[in-house]
Structure formats: structure tokens, C-alpha cells
């Protein structure tokens, strides 16, 4: 699967302030390239009445679902007054955070055909839905929740497309100040249920705790494996045995 460049999620001003202008420019240029590819695909595959089905597959493969949907959401938010865009797509676009919304910088990757964008967006969303990912409706909300020793659901946005699966969204939170809702630290440490990799994420990256009734048997088994103490830990916790008394050696008169 093609490696996709990550979206820079902050504004121009934040990038400038944090010394991340190179990252901002790389992402911005990729947004422009994605918009150009969509414009061309729409122009080449619309016969005046119908948009050829399946063109969303190549765009999402070339640029990734995250960027494709980001560029589409930017266009829909810009044309939110246009009646050719459905309420269904407008409501969806509003869930995607676009820094510098409606600024001159974001005009660089607008797609100026709202009617076709509406059709294309519906096709992209249908293909994305086929991934059967967990969403907030499957979760206990994270607000006020202690994450420790719970199966958390990662927001699929930001996960590489090859790992955009329900299994790789599941993360067993084990430690870190980010587990606590009121702590200043935001890092949550734990393991992917799918492969056991130990890593960390910002608390804000989670949709919430997977509802207990949705936890599968394999997920429960994985958690039991993670909770088993390691051999090293077991040895460390063994009660200390008294050292054997050294046998006295008779060297004569005492």
C-alpha cells in the first residue's frame, strides 16, 4: 500500500510559532495535489448526467482516506450555503476540523464544483464505511473517564490506511498521566490489542472506551495476556529466601 504523507493538523500561525513551517508546507502542497487530482477525476469521468462510479477508489489510494476527506470537507465547509450539497454531507464535513477555515490559504485546495463534490463525497464516504470501523456510538464517552486498564478506541483519523481496521483501533490503556481526566499530562501508554505493540498516544486521540457488551472473546483473551506478570516480575516478587548459614570451619581453639 502506498505511503501517504500525514496531514499537518494545525494552523499556519501555530506552525510558524512552533517552527514547523516545513511540515505545514508539505501538507499544504499535498492538499493542493489532492484537490487537483479530484478536479481532474471529476472532469474526466462526468458525462453531463452521471459521475462514473469507482473513481473515489484511486483518489483514496493515491492520497489516503484522511487527506481525501480533509480536502472534501474543506470544500464543503467553504460552500456550506450551496443547495447542491446535501445536509448529510454538510453535517459530516462539520465534524472535521479544518484550521484556517475559509482563509485565503485554504482556497488553494478548493474544488469549485459543489454539485459533483457532493456526489463524489458520498461515494468516498460509502467506501470508507465499508471499513466497518468503530465510532463514538460504540464507546463510553472519554470525558471524566479514567482510561487505566480499559479497552479504548482510537480515532481512525491519523491511523495509516493499512491499519484502518476495527482491530487496530483497540488499545489497552495501562499507564500514563493521560489516563486520568484531570491530570496535566496527556500521554496514555499501553498496547495495541491486535499485535501487542507497546506505545503511547495523546488522550485526545481516543473516541472513548469500547462498550463492554461489544468486547469480543479474542479481545478479552488479549487483555488477560497483557495482565499476566512477566517471568522477570514473578521472580522479583518471590519472597526472599534467607541465605544459608555458612558452615563453620574448625580451626582449633577458640
Q: What is the mean pLDDT of residues 168-179?
A: 96
Q: Rounded CA gap, 116 and 84, in Å?
A: 9
Report pLDDT for 112: 92
Give the rounded percent of residues in the chain with a pLDDT score beyond 70. 89
Q: Rounded CA gap, 163 and 174, in Å?
A: 21
- Residues in the chain, overall count: 254
Is residue 65 predicted with pLDDT exceeding 50?
yes
Mean residue pLDDT of the chain comes to: 90
Residues 6+ apart with CB under 8 A from 26: 5, 8
Report pLDDT for 86: 97
Range of lowest pLDDT (32-41, 112-121, 223-232, 245-254):
245-254
Q: Rounded CA gap, 154 and 156, in Å?
A: 6
Q: What is the mean pLDDT of residues 12-17?
A: 92
Is residue 36 predicted with pLDDT exceeding 50?
yes
Is residue 206 predicted with pLDDT exceeding 90?
yes
Q: Please give the backbone phi and psi of residue 118, each rounded to the nearest 5 degrees, phi first.
A: -60, -45
Is residue 64 predicted with pLDDT exceeding 70?
yes
Q: Rounded CA gap, 208 and 151, in Å?
A: 9
The tens digit of pLDDT for each residue in 75-133 reads 999 999 999 999 999 999 999 999 976 577 899 999 999 999 999 999 999 999 999 99
DSSP string, 167-217: HHHEEEEEESGGGSTT-S--EEEEEETTT--EEEEEGGGEEEEEPGGG--H
Nearest Cα to Cα of residue 155 among 108, 189, 205 = 205
- CB 174, CB 149: distance < 8 Å: yes
Amino acid at each position: 500500500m502506498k505511503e501517504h504523507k500525514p496531514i499537518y493538523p494545525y494552523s499556519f500561525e501555530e506552525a510558524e510559532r512552533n517552527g514547523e513551517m516545513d511540515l505545514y508546507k508539505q501538507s499544504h502542497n499535498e492538499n493542493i495535489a489532492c484537490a487537483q487530482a479530484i478536479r481532474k477525476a471529476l472532469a474526466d469521468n462526468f458525462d453531463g448526467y452521471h459521475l462514473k462510479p469507482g473513481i473515489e477508489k484511486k483518489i483514496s489510494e493515491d492520497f489516503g482516506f484522511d487527506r481525501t476527506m480533509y480536502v472534501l470537507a474543506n470544500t464543503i465547509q467553504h460552500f456550506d450555503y450551496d443547495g447542491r450539497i446535501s445536509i448529510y454531507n454538510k453535517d459530516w464535513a462539520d465534524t472535521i476540523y479544518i484550521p484556517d477555515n475559509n482563509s485565503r490559504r485554504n482556497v488553494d485546495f478548493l474544488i469549485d464544483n459543489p454539485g459533483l463534490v457532493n456526489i463524489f463525497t458520498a461515494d468516498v464516504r460509502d467506501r470508507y464505511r465499508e471499513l466497518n470501523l468503530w465510532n463514538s456510538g460504540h464507546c463510553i464517552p472519554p470525558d471524566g473517564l479514567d482510561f487505566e486498564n480499559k479497552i479504548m478506541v482510537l480515532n481512525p483519523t491519523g491511523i495509516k490506511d493499512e491499519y484502518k481496521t476495527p482491530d487496530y483501533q483497540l488499545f489497552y490503556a495501562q499507564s500514563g498521566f493521560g489516563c486520568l481526566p484531570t491530570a496535566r499530562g496527556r500521554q496514555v501508554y499501553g498496547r495495541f490489542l491486535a499485535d501487542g505493540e507497546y506505545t503511547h498516544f495523546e488522550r485526545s486521540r481516543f473516541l472513548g472506551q469500547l462498550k463492554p457488551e461489544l468486547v469480543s472473546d479474542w479481545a478479552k483473551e488479549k487483555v488477560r495476556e497483557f495482565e499476566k506478570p512477566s517471568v522477570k516480575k514473578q521472580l522479583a516478587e518471590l519472597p526472599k529466601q534467607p541465605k544459608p548459614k555458612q558452615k563453620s570451619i574448625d580451626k582449633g581453639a577458640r
